[in-house]
Amino acid sequence: MAIKTKKKYRLTRETKVVFGVTLHRIEALVSFGTVVAGALGGWVASEANLSQLDNAWVSGNAQVSGNAQVSGDAWVSGDARVSGDARVLGNAQVSGDAWVSGDARVLGNARVSGDARVLGNAQVLGNAQVLGNAQVWGDARVSAPVIVVSGITYNVTITDAHMAIGCQMHPIADWRGFSARKIAAMDGAAGSKFWKAYGAFLLGVCDETKRPFVAVAPEQG
């Protein structure tokens, strides 16, 4: 005989439609973790988005939709969005205006916050921190704090083994070997000028200890 799990939250009648998807405000039915019974939470498309087990929770104006799932002791808060087939689990936290989508995974004690984006098949795990305007996508794997370089032409995000410059993300080893012609093919003269001015600096940053900071780029001559 199947054992029914006592629900820790319910879908309220308060709804809103976002991009054609109806989301429901949630309400805690029992106290768990730091959540008290009767507390209103964030928004989900269905109960499949948030586990009825453990202490996982969606709070504030955060939204979880599609086939995305939040479980374990994970929290999604602020105005964060989790969608697609993404998973947030363990003790992970997604907050601020951060987005996690596609088949992305955020787990362990990882933190994704600010305006950060974790997309595609990316994985953020361990004690990794993806902050600010950082963007992680493709098959990137992040297990240490991400480095964000600001104040230059393109947004730059450096993970364990990848570097994203604008819309181009490649393994750091590949960036080291790219020819001038390959760089030019990415964004023409602007890309070539950028790499000539900042390439050596960025590759040097890649060699630095992985800790959360915002690098200040040198003035372009």
pLDDT value, residue 131:
84
pLDDT for position 9: 98
**What's the rounded mean pLDDT across residues 18-32?**
96
Please state, in angstroms and rounded to a whole number, the distance separating the CA atoms of residues 82 and 77.
10
* Separation in Å, CA 117 to CA 101, 102, 212: 8, 11, 16
Position 3 scores a pLDDT of: 55
Best mean pLDDT range from 6-15, 139-148, 151-160: 6-15
The rounded percent of the chain whose pLDDT value lies above 90 is: 52
- Residue spans of the domains in the chain: they are 8-143, 146-213
Question: What pLDDT score does 180 carry?
Answer: 87
C-beta atoms surrounding 209 within 10 Å: 8
| pTM for this model (two decimals) | 0.76
Average pLDDT, the chain: 88
pLDDT at 87 over 70: yes
* Dmax (CA) of the chain: 74
Determine the 3-state secondary structure of 177 from DSSP: helix
> Which of the four pLDDT bands, split at 50, 70 and 90, describes residue 15?
very high
Which pLDDT does position 146 carry in this prediction?
A: 79
Q: Which CATH architecture has domain 8-143?
A: 3 Solenoid (2.160)
Which is more confident, 210 or 189? 189
In the prediction, which pLDDT does 76 show?
Answer: 98
Give the separation between CA 2 and CA 77, rounded to whole angstroms: 33
Among residues 22, 58, 16, 24, the alpha carbon closest in space to that of 41 is found at 58
